[in-house]
Amino acid sequence: MSRFLKKRDATRGQVPGELIFVGEQKVSEATVRLIDYDAENLSEEALTDIRDGLKYKDTDSVTWINVNGLHDLELIRWLGDAFGLHPLVTADIVNTGQRPTMEEHDDYIFFALKMMQYDEAEGRIHAEQLSMILGERFLLTFQERPGDVFEPVRERIRKRKGRIRKVGIDYLAYALLDTVVDNYIFIIERLGEQIEEIEEAILESPSRDVLSRINNYKREMNYLRKSIRPAREFMLQLSRLDSELIHEETGPFLKDLEDLAGQAVDTVDTYREMLSDYLGIYNTGVGNRMNEIMKVLTIFSAIFIPLTFIAGIYGTNFDNVPELHFEYSYFLMWGAFLVITLAMLRFFRSKDWL
C-alpha cells in the first residue's frame, strides 16, 4: 500500500461521517488499555469490556484510554457515542491516511499525527496514525497497533517521575506528543548519521550502490517531511490555542514542543539539501570518470591513427612499392611506429593531457 497516499476506494460516494476503515489492518483484534491516576492513586488495567471504563469518565482523576487497532468499527463507534464525538471525528480516526491536523470542538480537542518507526534491516520508515481526543477529564488515544513509544510516559506515571502525576490531563497530552516528536528526532539523527557517511563513499568510489543509497535516503526524508511539516503546523496552532482545556501552566511546554517540531523540520530540510548536493557530487564524479576514460581512449586512438596510416600504405597489393623488397623494411616500419608513439606521448604529457 502506498505510504504517501492511502487508497480511499471504499469511501467514494459514501455519506460524510460514515465510519469506514481506510488502511491496512495491523492487528488481529483491537485491545483497550486504561490508566487512571491522581497524585496519590493509580489504576491500570486492560479492558475486556469497554463499558468498564465509563465509571472513570466523570471522576476528578486523569483518565487515559488507549485503543490499539482501528479496524474495529463497532468499538470506535461506541466510544464516539459514549464520549460525544462528532461523526466526522470518528471517521477521521479510522482513516489512516488522515493528514496531521488539530480540530477544536466545544468540549474536546482532536489531534491526528503520524508515529514513526525506523526499520534498520529494511532501511525504511514505517508510520502509523495516532489520534487523540483531549477532553476535560479524559484523554482517548487511538493507535493502529501496540507499540512502546508511549512506554516511557507510562513509566513516569507509575513511578511518579517529574510533575506528570501532579498536573492535569492537558499535560499528559503534551507528554505523549513530546514522546512522538522525540521519536522523530531520534529517527532523523539515525538517518543523518548514515547520510553523512555517504560523502566519503561518493568521493572515493561513486558506484551504483552509492547512488541507490542516496535515492533511498531521499525517499525516506521526503516521507518524513510529508508527515512532520503538517505536525509542526498543528503544534504551532496548539501552542497559540486559547482553550479552557489547555491550562496556562502547560503553555510554555507546548511552545517548547512547537520549537522541537520546528527543529525536526529544519533538520529534515538540511539533510534533503545534503542529499541533493551528494547527488550532484555523484553525477560530477561519474562525469569526471567518464571524461578520464574518454581521454585515455582518445589518446590511444590518436596514437594509432598514424600507425594505421603507415600500416595501410604498406598493406597495399602493389608490386612497385619501393621498400617492399628492401631487407630491413619491416624493422624500419616498427622503428617508425615506436618513434611516432613516443613523440605523441611526450607531446600529450607536455600539454598535461596525461
Read off the pLDDT of each residue in 139-144 and give the average, rounded to a whole number.
Answer: 93
The H or E element containing residue 287 is helix 251-313
Contacts of residue 285, Cβ cutoff 8 Å, sequence gap at least 6:
202, 203, 206
The identity of residue 15, as a single letter, is V
Give pLDDT, residue 209: 85
Domains of the chain: 9-284 (3.30.460.20), 314-350 (no CATH)
Residue located via cell numbers 530540510: 269
Residue 86 to residue 81: CA distance in whole angstroms: 8
Read off the pLDDT of each residue in 251-279 and give the average, rounded to a whole number.
Answer: 91
Task: State the DSSP code for 40.
Answer: S
| Residues 227-250 pLDDT 10s | 888 888 888 888 888 888 898 888
SS3 241: coil
| Residues 43-99 pLDDT 10s | 898 888 888 778 887 778 899 999 999 988 999 999 999 888 999 999 999 988 888
Q: For the chain, give the mean pLDDT.
A: 84
Between residues 28 and 315, which one has the greater pLDDT?
A: 28
| Residues 160-178 pLDDT 10s | 888 888 888 999 999 999 9
pLDDT of residue 126 exceeding 70, the answer is yes
Which cell is 197 given? 557517511
CA 345 to chain centre: 53
Output the pTM of the full model: 0.78
